[in-house]
Amino acid sequence: MSTVLKSNTQEARTGSVGGTAAANRGLGTRLRRLNIPGGLGGWIWLAVIILPVYYVVVTSLKTQAGYFGQNPLSLPTEPTLENYQSVLEADFAQYFLNSAIVTLGSVIPTVLISFMASFAIVRGAGRFLKLVNGMFLMGLAIPLQATIIPIYLMIIRLNLYDSLLALMLPSIAFAIPLTVLILSNFIRDVPNELFESMRLDGCSEWQTMWRLALPLTRPAIVTVAIYNGLHVWNGFLLPLVLTQSPSLRVLPLGLWTFQGEFSVNIPAVLASVVLSTLPILVLYVIGRRQLLAGLTAGFSK
Amino acid sequence: MSNAVSTAPGPSVGVRNSKQTEQRKAALAWLTIPALFFFLVFAVIPLAGVLILSFTSWDGIGAIGAAGLDNWYSVLADPGLYNALGLTFLIMIVSWLVQTPISLLLGVFTAGSQRYRAVLAVLYFLPLLLSSAAVAIAFKALLDPNFGLATGLGLPFLAQDWLGVPHLALGLVIFVIAWQFVPFHTLIYQGGVRQIPKSLYEAAQIDGAGTIKQFFHITLPQLKYTIITSSTLMVVGSLTYFDLIFVLTGGGPGNSTRILALDMYLRGFRANLMGPASVIAVILVIIGLALALFLQRLGGKDKQGSQLEGL
């Protein structure tokens, strides 16, 4: 199974978002002929995607009167930021901070311990490591969300209920299998001669791991960090079940309770939607390639 | 693994080296301990725990008592289970049928090199940035019969009671799922298409094959493993559409969108029946495993089994 996994992800990497210029050119000449139906479909889908986004943004800039009075798709006659102000006053800064803490607090340990495990799985040998690897691979095929009830029980028994740490611990565990899979595929690609020369220079495996394997797998680490980060950032079930206090809400949960309380003020609700997406939108604008590669984390091949 | 041994200069040195190497390699095992610890405690133990809890009665707060097979009998006799199972599979299959052709065509489309396609692709991928909660809330506002899209576009047929009529709510759920997840699969197909050697197309052109022929005879067969990967993620991921449906419809109207994952949550955390909810969870795990194994066999070499953390 694992060799299969490897070859797949290798293909995935070479063919990821960038693609080679030559291949693109070849496709270009081929696809130009499809232009009319393809183009039409492309524009229709664009409308399907953009209309909701446009509606959310313009409505969030309208006053209540504007919302009830104007055409829903027209630009606001008196654009206002007061909706955003009321969202911020509803503690969204706190939710944002909570989301940031939980995301960083999950992603950094996940990547760190998964990297160490991947290094051992690739460079080491023995029955124990085989067993560990097999277990992580099994973990990929199990819908871990179904374990929410025992996790709830454990978190209560550990006296962690209603804390941010309660969100991080299962998030880390859920993210390990895929992270180990991707990182070990990348470490496996580091030429053996490099490891050998490190060893001849008298470096221990520990030093080799940090000085050789880590820098060489940095792109993969960024990719899995983004992938895991987005999942934690947008996660809903764990915060819903494992926290309770308003001061511990993360953004998706904050959004949900906000729309419950402010259901009469749709512009404010939609402002909260925009505001909660803004950090990731900024990321998308800055590092679109990285983010898209991270989103599929080696699924595209 | 045996490279170190084979490159060693002499037999005696080789033996010593290989022994050292073996020891060194085995010594690396401790590096897996932190990851192993987290995974055992917060994934493996809960997985065993859910099976155990399915034989107990617990209200989520008080003491846990043994219940034998009672939960299983009551859940298996409950028509609600079969409703949820049916809906789960219905949404799974219809979502697959809707999303796969769209994603595939958009993947081919965005893999093209024209500038405008690259710009469109940037916009296509926007839904990927939104949380399920945000998507659900946005669509709820959008579908308001008076102040939503229907009025904005002047299309009265859009002004329906989308969340109040069972079959409309179900259709809406499938549409919103497609809106949210097609971009992800488009991205996968885009990568797959870019991977196809262009020499295949050149050869086909020389043979006089047209665009449509090329699509069916080159693109589609070449995308076989991409289709399996994407389908696996789609099908197994559909078991975990929990958050979107929870915020959008809450399972309603009635039980018309109450899929298994939602059924588990509502039984456990709303009705405080953790035992029966654990039975549903066990069923969910079994279905997920079975689907992943089935699709893996289908493809012969599929890799991730499933991406189950809420895709």
Query: Could you give the CA distance from residue B7 to residue B1 in angstroms, rounded to a whole number?
Result: 12
Q: Which of A184-188, A254-258, B81-85 has the lowest mean pLDDT?
A: A184-188
Residue A18 has pLDDT above 70, yes or no: no
Q: Which of A5-14, A222-231, B95-104 has the lowest mean pLDDT?
A: A5-14
B203 contacts chain A (CB < 8 A): no
Residues 250-289 of A with CB under 8 A from B: 251-253, 255-256, 259, 266, 269-270, 272-273, 276-277, 280-281, 284, 288
Q: By percentage, how much of chain A surpasses pLDDT 70? A: 85
pLDDT tier for residue A87 given thresholds of 50, 70 and 90: confident
List, for residues B241-267, the tens digit of each pLDDT value: 889 999 999 887 888 999 999 999 999
With tokens 């093209």, the residue in question is: B112
Residue B9 has pLDDT above 80, yes or no: no
Give, in words, the CATH class of B71-299: mainly alpha
How many domains, chain A? 1
pLDDT tier for residue B212 given thresholds of 50, 70 and 90: confident
List, for residues A97-147, the tens digit of each pLDDT value: 999 999 999 999 999 999 999 999 988 888 888 889 888 888 887 777 889
Sign of CA dihedral A91, A92, A96, A102: positive
Backbone angles phi and psi of A143, in degrees to 5? -70, 95
pLDDT tier for residue A69 given thresholds of 50, 70 and 90: confident
Q: Tell me which of B172 and A23 has the higher pLDDT.
A: B172
A-chain CB neighbours of B242 within 8 Å are 145, 236-237
Residues 62-101 of B with CB under 8 A from A: none
Q: Which of A46-60, A130-144, A148-162, B143-157 has the lowest mean pLDDT?
A: B143-157
Give the gap in angstroms from C-alpha B18 to the nearest C-alpha of chain A: 12
Residue B225 has pLDDT above 90, yes or no: no
pLDDT tier for residue A252 given thresholds of 50, 70 and 90: very high
Q: Write down the mean pLDDT value for chain A.
A: 82
Nearest-5° Cα angle at B38, B37 to B43 = 115
Region A193-208: mean pLDDT is: 85
B19 contacts chain A (CB < 8 A): no
Domain boundaries, chain B: 71-299
Give the gap in angstroms from C-alpha A166 to the nearest C-alpha of chain B: 11
Region B32-57: mean pLDDT is: 92
Q: Which of A32-36, A146-150, B126-130 has the lowest mean pLDDT?
A: A32-36
Q: Tell me which of B17 and B268 has the higher pLDDT.
A: B268
Q: What confidence score (pLDDT) does residue B195 get?
A: 83
In the numeric block, which tokens belong to residue B40?
């055992």
Residue A1 has pLDDT above 70, yes or no: no
Check CB contact under 8 Å for B201 and A26: yes
Q: What confidence score (pLDDT) does residue A147 get?
A: 92
Do A297 and A182 touch, CB atoms closer than 8 A?
yes
Residue B240 has pLDDT above 80, yes or no: no
Q: What confidence score (pLDDT) does residue A250 get?
A: 94
Q: How many CB pairs under 8 A join A and B?
A: 394
Residue B6 has pLDDT above 50, yes or no: no
Check CB contact under 8 Å for B31 and A273: no
Tell me which residue in A38, A71, A181 faces B109 most closely, judged by beta carbons: A38
Residue A246, domain member (yes or no): yes
pLDDT tier for residue B100 given thresholds of 50, 70 and 90: very high
Residue B7 has pLDDT above 70, yes or no: no
Global pTM reads: 0.83
- Nearest CA to A181 out of A122, A124, A137, A147 is that of A137
Q: What confidence score (pLDDT) does residue B204 get?
A: 86
Supply the DSSP string of B133-172, one letter for each residue. Answer: HHHHHHHHHHT-TTTSHHHHHT-GGG-S-TTTSHHHHHHH
Q: What confidence score (pLDDT) does residue B261 get?
A: 92
Check CB contact under 8 Å for B133 and A256: yes
Residue B202 has pLDDT above 80, yes or no: yes
Q: Quick count: other Cβ atoms within 10 Å of Cβ A116?
A: 23
Tell me which residue in A125, A140, A235 faces B25 most closely, judged by beta carbons: A125
Check CB contact under 8 Å for B134 and A146: no
Check CB contact under 8 Å for B28 and A119: yes
Check CB contact under 8 Å for A52 and B214: no
Q: Write down the mean pLDDT value for chain B.
A: 83
**Residue of chain A with shortest Cα separation from B103:** A45
Supply the DSSP string of B39-103, one letter for each residue. Answer: HIIIIIHHHHHHHHHTTEE--SSS--EE-TTHHHHHHHT-HHHHHHHHHHHHHHHHHHHHHHHHH
Which CATH number covers residue A239?
1.10.3720.10
Residue A72, domain member (yes or no): no
Residue B32 has pLDDT above 60, yes or no: yes
Query: Could you give the CA distance from residue B121 to residue A283 in angstroms, rounded to a whole number?
Result: 16
Residue B302 has pLDDT above 80, yes or no: no
Q: Which of A271-275, B50-54, B114-118, B233-237 has the lowest mean pLDDT?
A: B114-118
A-chain CB neighbours of B147 within 8 Å are 67-68, 72, 266
List, for residues B13-28, the tens digit of each pLDDT value: 455 566 667 777 777 8
A-chain CB neighbours of B132 within 8 Å are 234, 236, 252
Q: By percentage, how much of chain A surpasses pLDDT 90? A: 33
Q: Is A63 exposed, middle or buried (0-12, 13-18, 19+ CB in 10 A)?
A: middle
List, for residues B131-161, the tens digit of each pLDDT value: 999 999 999 988 887 788 777 777 777 777 8
Q: A247: which DSSP letter?
A: G
Residue A46, domain member (yes or no): no
Region A69-92: mean pLDDT is: 83
Region A253-276: mean pLDDT is: 89
Q: What confidence score (pLDDT) does residue B299 get?
A: 66
Residue A69, domain member (yes or no): no
Residues 154-173 of A with CB under 8 A from B: 154, 169-170, 172-173
- Nearest CA to B273 out of B27, B60, B10 is that of B60
In the numeric block, which tokens belong to residue B1?
């693994």
Q: What confidence score (pLDDT) does residue B94 get?
A: 95
Residue A37, domain member (yes or no): no
A17 contacts chain B (CB < 8 A): yes
Residue B231 has pLDDT above 50, yes or no: yes
Query: Could you give the CA distance from residue B62 to residue A147 in angstroms, rounded to a whole number?
Result: 20
pLDDT tier for residue A4 given thresholds of 50, 70 and 90: very low
Residue B232 has pLDDT above 90, yes or no: no
Do A113 and A297 touch, CB atoms closer than 8 A?
no
Q: What confidence score (pLDDT) does residue A23 get?
A: 46
Give the gap in angstroms from C-alpha A86 to the nearest C-alpha of chain B: 17
Residue A39 has pLDDT above 80, yes or no: no
- Whether omega for the bond prior to residue B46 falls within 30 degrees of 0, making it cis, is no
Region A254-267: mean pLDDT is: 87
Q: What confidence score (pLDDT) does residue A21 get?
A: 43
